[in-house]
Amino acid sequence: MRIVFKTSYDADIRLFKHKAQAFWYLLLFALAILLPFLISDFLIGEATLVLIWAICGMGLMVLVGQTGQASLGHAAFMAVGAYSNVLYQEHFSMPFLLSFPLAGLTAGVAGALIAMPITKLHGIYLAIATLAISVLAEDLIVIMEPLTGGVSGLFAPDIEIFGFVFNRYGNPVELYWLVLFITFLIVYLYRNMLRSPIGRSFAAVRDSEVSAKAMGINVARTKMVAFAISCFITGLGGALMGHFATIFTNETFNLIMSITLLLIIVVGGLGTIHGAFFGAIVFVMLPLVISLTRDALTVFADSGSVTIPGLESGLFGIILIGFILFEPMGIYGRWLKIRTYFELFPFYRKDMFRRQKSYLKTERTR
Amino acid sequence: MDILQLIVSGLANGCVYGLIALGFVLIYKATEAVNFAQGDFMMLGAFITLGFTNADHMGLPFWLSVILAIGIMGILGYLLDMIVLRRMFGQSQVAVVILTIALGFVIRFIAGLIWGHEPQSLESPLSGLELRFGGLVLGMDEVWVIIVTLALTALLYVFFARTKLGIGMQASSQNQLAAYYMGIPVKRIHSMIWALSGVVAAIAGILFASKGSIDPTAGLLGIKAFAAAVIGGFGSLPGALLGGIIVGLVEPFAARYMPAGYSQIFPYLILVVMLVVRPHGILSQIQTKKV
C-alpha cells in the first residue's frame, strides 16, 4: 500500500496520484494501440464497438454518475448526434473533421434546451420526463421524414479525413485507431472536467442539493451544464455509432437503447470513467459469449443449433439484478475491493465497504 | 354517433391504462418506489390466465383460471418483494427504478420462453358479445373493463383512506423509521403491497387480453400508463384512473383528426407539457413543507 503525502493543493487534483499509476495507465494505452496486432479483424470491429459504447456511456456518466440526475432518454441525444452529423455532411458538404464536433455541439445545445424546463424535476419525475423525450424523439424522426428519411433511415457515408477513407469493412484497424484517438480525447476532457470547479460542483449537487446551494452553487445552472456536457459527449458517440452502423433509422435509437445505456453504466460502476468501459465490454461481449457457448454446446450435444430469442436481454437483465443486489458499485467497485484486499493483506475485513443502513423519507412533502 | 363510439372505446382503453397506472400508484403510495415492470406484470398475468384457460394449453374453465392467475400473481408479487426488493430496503429510488427495469427484461424473456413470441388471444366469455343501444354498438368486453376498473379504484381508495392497514401503508412510505417506531411492520407491509399490485396487474392483464391479442412486448404499454399516472398525479388513486382515461380518450381522437404519425405522440406530449407546467399532476399529492 502506497501512501501519498499531499504537500500542496495541486497534489489533490493531479491527473495521476503517483508515478506508478501513470505507468500502468500508459501501459494500458500502449496495449490499446497495439491491440490490432494481437487479435483478429473481427474482434477489432467488436473492440471499436466497445469504445463507441464507452463514449456514449461516459456521456451518460457525466449526468448520472457525476451529477446524480437519472436519464432514461439518452438515445435521443445519440440520435441527434448521428442524424446531424450525416446531415451536415450531406447538405452542407462539410468534412468529417467539422461535422463531427458540430454534431456533438448540436446534441449539447439540444440537451441544454431540454434541460431548462426539466431540471427543476427530481428523481423519479426526471426519469419519467427523459423517458418521454426518448419516446418522442423516436416518433419525431418519423415525422420529420424529408430531413431524416423516416422509417427508411439514413445512410452514413464513410469517414473521410484529408482524402483518407475509413471504412468498417475496408480498413477496420484504421477505424479502430481513429475511434481510439477520439476516446482518448474524451477521457482526457472528462478527467480534466472533474478536476475543474464545474466538476466539483457536479459532485456537490449529486451529494446534496441543499448543501450545494448553501456553498453558493447555482444548482439549476449546474444541472443544465451537466446536461449540455453529457449530451455533447453522447452526441459524439451517437455520430460514431451512425458511421459504424452505416445505416440507421428511427428504430436504431429507441427506448431500449436508452435503457441499455443506463444499464451499461450501472453494471460498470456509477461515478467512474472505468465503469463506462467495463459496462461497454460486458454489453458487447455478452452476445459473443452466448454464441460461443452455443457452438460449444452443439458440439457436445449434437442437437443442432438452438436459438432462444430474447436471450441476450434476458441474461443482461439477470446480470444487472445481480449487480444491483450484491455489488451496487458495479464491476469497478468489485475491482476496488479485490485491490484493497491485496494491498492490505492480511488485514482486509469483510465490512470495510459495508453500506450504511438508511431509511427512506417521502419526497411528497418538501 | 361516431364520436360517441370513439368515446366508449377510448374510455375502455383508458381504463386499462388506468389499471396499470393503479399498480404504479399503489406501490408508490406504500413504498415510495416506482415499479417500471408493472406493464410486464400485466403481460405476465394475462399469459398465466391464457396458459390455464386456452384450449391449446390446459383448457381449464375461464373463471377458475382467472382466480388461479390472480392468486399466482399475488404470491409472485409477495415473493418478489421478499426475495429481491427487500435487499434494496432504504436505498434510493433510482436504484429501485433500474432494478425494476431489469426485472421487466427478465419477465419479458421468461414469458417469451414459455408462451412464445407470437401474438395470442385469450379465449374469454367476455369477448365477442355486443350490446346495442340504438345505433351505438358496445362490446361486452369494453363494458366489463369500465365497470371492473371503476369498482376496483373505488375499493382501493376506500382501503387506503379508511382501513388500518391502508393507513399503515401510507405511513410507511412517508417516513420508514417513524413508521417502525409506531409499530408498523414496514417490511411485511411492503411485501403485501407488492402482492396487491400483482393482483391488480393480473386483473388488468385479463381485461386487456380479452379486448385483443397479447404478446411478450405488451408490457411496453406500461409507458403509456406512466404518462397516465403522471398526468393524474403520482400517488393518487383516482388520479391514476383520471389520467388513464385522459390518455385513452386523447388517442382515438388524435388518430382520427390528426395526420398519420402525429397521433401516437400525443400522450407523451401531454406528459411533457404536464411535467413542465404542473409537475405533480392534476390531483397533486405534494404539499410544500412549512417551516
Which distant-in-sequence residues (6+ apart) come within 8 Å of B12 by Cβ?
B139, B141, B142, B143, B145, B146, B211, B248
- Name every chain B residue with its beta carbon within 8 A of the beta carbon of A140: 265
A361, β-bridge pairs: B175
Partner A contacted by B182 (CB < 8 A): no
Cα–Cα dist A365/B272, whole Å: 22
pLDDT average, residue stretch A242-251: 87
Asked if the model's pLDDT at residue B106 lies above 60, the reply is: yes
Which distant-in-sequence residues (6+ apart) come within 8 Å of B218 by Cβ?
B39, B42, B43, B46, B208
Asked if the model's pLDDT at residue A10 lies above 60, the reply is: yes
Contact between residue A84 and residue A107 where contact means Cβ atoms under 8 Å apart: yes
Minimum CA–CA partner of A313 in chain B: B105
Nearest-Cα distance to chain B for A286, in Å, is 15
- Closest CB to B102: pick one of A124, A263, A365: A263
Cα–Cα dist A71/A258, whole Å: 8
User: In this complex, do A132 and B287 lie within 8 Å of one another by their Cβ atoms?
Assistant: no
Give the pLDDT score at A305: 52
Q: What is the pLDDT of residues B219-231, one digit of tens each?
A: 778 888 888 888 8
- Closest CB to B90: pick one of A143, A266, A359: A359
Asked if the model's pLDDT at residue A366 lies above 50, the reply is: no
> What's the ipTM?
0.82
User: Which amino acid is residue A362, in one-letter code?
Assistant: T
Domain ranges of chain A: 38-353
Cα A213 → chain centroid: 28
Residue ranges with strand state E in A95-222? 154-155, 159-161, 164-166
Q: Which residue has the cell 401516437?
A: B264
Give the pLDDT score at A1: 59
**CATH T-level topology, domain A38-353:** ABC transporter involved in vitamin B12 uptake, BtuC (1.10.3470)
User: In this complex, do B98 and A139 lie within 8 Å of one another by their Cβ atoms?
Assistant: no
Q: What is the pLDDT of residues B253-276, one digit of tens each?
A: 888 887 777 777 888 888 888 888
Mean pLDDT across chain A: 86
- Closest CB to B112: pick one of A118, A310, A365: A310
Give the pLDDT score at A113: 92
Contact between residue A158 and residue A165 where contact means Cβ atoms under 8 Å apart: yes
Asked if the model's pLDDT at residue B291 lies above 60, the reply is: no
Q: What is the pLDDT of residues B114-168, one digit of tens each?
A: 888 888 888 777 666 777 776 677 777 788 888 888 999 899 889 888 899 888 8
